[in-house]
């Protein structure tokens, strides 16, 4: 799947928004990824996750993977679709008191894991998930992302695959040209 096709799908499903946004980091941007809009369309979710698994398969990193782990909430559908395509189990970590925990599931020592997420900017939730997997004795094999917003700057120390790498422009609020133009600021959440 080519980048142009992926961008078209993201735009058509409302997953790539253009305007004036405040990101979770507090920075402002003219683009925002709301992958929930893509993932609410099962055929598009399946198509994109199949293409992501194909990238990992071609790279040869998917031998003997047991489980896909995703951070809730955004990564759950990605994790499920990636696991379905790979024919393995899908589990998730979830937030409690602003921290991720492995609450409903167990990871066996030596269990080989792919971590899947929808969008990464700084990678905090993926890193938390890596730490949880390692603390449980699991072995991280690869990271699978629908969108890597970092422009490839985030390095988790494991093979990382993304369907799309894009680094939208961001500004500190005091330096935002969109604020200077008086454009309404949207807080889309994540």
Could you report the per-residue pLDDT of 101-159, keeping only the tens digit for each? 999 999 999 999 999 999 998 899 999 999 999 999 999 999 999 999 888 789 999 99
Structural domain containing residue 97: 3-180
Q: Which residue has the tokens 């970590």?
A: 93
Whole-angstrom distance, CA of residue 38 vs CA of residue 11: 9
Q: Tell me if the pTM is above 0.85.
A: yes
Confidence of residue 168 (pLDDT cuts 50, 70, 90): confident
Burial letters for 130-163: b for 16+ Cβ neighbours within 10 Å, e otherwise? bebbeebebbbbbbbbbbbbbeeebebebbbbbb
Please write the tens of the pLDDT for every residue from 26-40. 889 999 989 999 999
Output the average pLDDT for the chain: 94
Q: If we measure between CA atoms, which residue out of 97, 94, 147, 156 comes closest to residue 124?
A: 156
Largest pairwise CA distance in the chain: 55
Residue 128 counted as domain residue: yes
Whole-angstrom distance, CA of residue 150 vs CA of residue 171: 14
Residue 185 counted as domain residue: no
**Element housing 55 (H / E):** helix 42-59
CATH code assigned at 115: 3.40.50.2020
Residue 140 counted as domain residue: yes
Residue 188 counted as domain residue: no
- How many domains is the chain partitioned into structurally? 1
Residue 186 counted as domain residue: no
Residue 99 φ then ψ, to 5°:
-135, 145
Under DSSP, the state recorded for 21 is E
Q: Which residue has the tokens 């395509």?
A: 85
Q: If we measure between CA atoms, which residue out of 65, 67, 135, 148 comes closest to residue 99?
A: 135
- Is residue 24's pLDDT more than 80? no
CA 148, distance to chain mean position in Å, is 7
Under DSSP, the state recorded for 175 is G
Residue 30 counted as domain residue: yes
Residue 8 counted as domain residue: yes
Which pLDDT does position 112 carry in this prediction?
A: 98
Please write the tens of the pLDDT for every residue from 40-68. 999 999 999 999 999 999 999 888 999 99
> Average pLDDT of 150-177?
92
Residue 190 counted as domain residue: no
- Is residue 190's pLDDT more than 60? no
Which pLDDT does position 158 carry in this prediction?
A: 97
């Amino acid at each position: 799947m080519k980048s142009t096709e992926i961008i078209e799908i993201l735009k058509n499903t409302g997953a790539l928004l253009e305007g004036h946004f405040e990101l979770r980091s507090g920075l402002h941007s003219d683009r925002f990824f709301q992958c929930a809009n893509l993932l609410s369309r099962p055929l598009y979710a399946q198509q994109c996750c199949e293409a992501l698994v194909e990238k990992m398969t071609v790279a040869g990193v998917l031998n003997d993977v047991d489980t896909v782990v995703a951070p809730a909430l955004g990564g759950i559908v990605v994790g499920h679709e990636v696991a379905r395509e790979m024919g393995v189990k899908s589990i998730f970590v979830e937030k409690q008191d602003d921290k991720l925990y492995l609450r409903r599931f167990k990871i066996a020592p030596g269990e080989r894991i792919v971590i899947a997420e929808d969008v990464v900017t700084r990678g905090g939730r993926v890193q938390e998930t890596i730490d949880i997997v390692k603390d449980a004795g699991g072995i991280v094999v690869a990271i699978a992302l629908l969108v890597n917003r970092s422009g490839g700057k985030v390095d988790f120390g494991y093979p990382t695959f993304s369907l799309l790498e894009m680094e939208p422009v961001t500004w500190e609020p005091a330096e935002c040209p969109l604020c200077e133009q008086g454009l309404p600021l949207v807080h889309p959440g994540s």
